[in-house]
Chains A and B, each alone.
Chain A
């Protein structure tokens, strides 16, 4: 059974780059 680290559940919020 795979085990996932807790922090993978939280998106890192980095500034969005303009396209």
Chain B
């Protein structure tokens, strides 16, 4: 059976930003991620561009290929159709926004090839 989605995508979930501010998941903006990453000692924000979206191993899964960061590292992730990603300047987006809205009451746009998602990498240790 498919892996359950984490509970924090449910509308109304309380998210703590890096500066301690609390926001609901549906109210998060691109700047919240950028500012939180700026003051994080461990995490660095990166942009991941959606290059391909293919069917996954099960009917309710998709394989999303991203091009990550300046080096354009190719990364594939298999997630449930309703898994939301945060797109720069747009907000939550999933491959099946209707399902995300139905399951999590989280308004979503359709995730498309070319969308640039917020992703995180570890800051390199010196």
How many pairs, one residue from A and one from B, have CB atoms within 8 Å of each other in the complex? 62
Complex Cα gap A6–B38 (Å): 13
Query: Measured between C-beta atoms, what is the minimum distance from B93 to chain A in Å?
Result: 13
Asked if A6 and B73 sit within 8 Å, CB to CB, the answer is no
A1-19: which residues lie under 8 A (CB-CB) from chain B?
Answer: 1-16
A4 to B36, CA, bound (A): 14
Q: Provide the bound-state CA to CA distance between A10 and B18, in Å.
A: 14
Given A10-B119, A13-B77, A3 and B22 contact (CB-CB distance below 8 Å): yes
Chain B at the A interface: mostly helix, strand, loop or mixed? strand
Q: A11: which B residues are within 8 A, CB to CB?
A: 77, 79, 85, 119
Q: Let me know if B120 and A7 touch, CB within 8 A.
A: yes
Q: Are B75 and A8 in contact (CB under 8 A)?
A: no
* B14–A6 CB distance below 8 A: no
Q: List the interface of chain B (C-beta within 8 A of A).
A: 6-9, 13-18, 22, 25, 28, 32-33, 36, 40, 43, 46, 48, 66, 68, 73, 75-77, 79, 85-86, 118-121
**Using a CB–CB distance below 8 Å, which chain A residues touch chain B?**
1-16
